[in-house]
Amino acid sequence: SSELTQDPAVSVALGQTVRITCQGDSLRDYNASWYRQKPGQAPVAVIYGRNYRPSGIPDRFSGSTSGDTASLTITGTQAEDEADYYCYSRDSTTNHVRFGGGTKLTVL
Amino acid sequence: QAQLVQSGAEVKKPGASVKVSCQASGYTFTNFDIDWVRQAPGQGLEWMGRVHRFNGVTTYTHDLQDRVTMTTDPSTSTAYMELRSLRSDDTAVYYCVRDYYDKRGYYYDSWGQGTLVTVSS
């Protein structure tokens, strides 16, 4: 399947570690990127490639992939991390982009 | 610092067309492709397609390929997205994004501010 599946909602206690996952066949061939979107704002990339953070993204964000599942891990979650998170992949043949359905992260 | 600035909000009737512009600055426009992504109210991100940075070759998502046209004008560092035969479910915020690539991979490193297109009779 070309779909990317994410859990609709995840919660985490302030200061704890949370993992957000994304499952799809295309992830076997392509390293996922992850985007954070706060209400009323454009998304911002937090992880790309195998596990790289764009400039300005804190090192509490990390990424990994195992088989068909990519994970975004936030270590020591802060209140400002509360947002929607989307995974992103590209089809290795067509170069088309696919987004996951998004995960709403709530920080308790 | 790359920046993408989009045209303003639009209200259209069903069946009409809309054309959204995206002016780039702060980098060499012909070094990176431009993608378009939309987001319906309360919904997730949907990739619409891509226009090549200098030769204008396009690739569109299957669902929209009959109604969308993406172009660029390198002389003004501007990209355009036209969507025809608008329907109510085309109501969304439309984003242009820079398709950044380095040896570590692709990602969208710059986003326009978004253009709200409302389709209503």
Question: pLDDT tens across B10-20, in order?
Answer: 999 999 999 99
A vs B, Cβ pairs < 8 A, gives 57
What band does B54 get if pLDDT is binned at 50, 70 and 90? Answer: confident
Mean pLDDT of B36-42: 98
B109 contacts in A (CB within 8 Å)? 45, 54
What are the tens digits of pLDDT across the range A49-58? 989 999 999 9
Q: How many H-runs (helices) and E-runs (strands) does chain A carry? A: 0, 10
User: Is the CB of residue B20 less than 8 Å from the CB of residue B113?
Assistant: no
> Do A99 and B111 make contact, defined as CB atoms within 8 angstroms?
no
What are the tens digits of pLDDT across the range A75-91? 999 999 999 999 999 98
b/e B15-28 (16+ beta carbons within 10 angstroms → b): eeebebbbbbeebe
% of chain B surpassing 70 pLDDT:
100
Below-70 pLDDT ranges, chain A? 1-2
CA A31/CA A16 separation, integer angstroms:
25
Mean pLDDT of B31-53: 96
B18: distance to nearest CA of chain A, Å?
A: 21
What band does B92 get if pLDDT is binned at 50, 70 and 90? Answer: very high
Tokens of A96: 């088309």
Hey, is the C-beta of B42 within 8 angstroms of any chain A C-beta? Answer: no
B108: distance to nearest CA of chain A, Å?
A: 7
> Do A52 and B104 make contact, defined as CB atoms within 8 angstroms?
yes
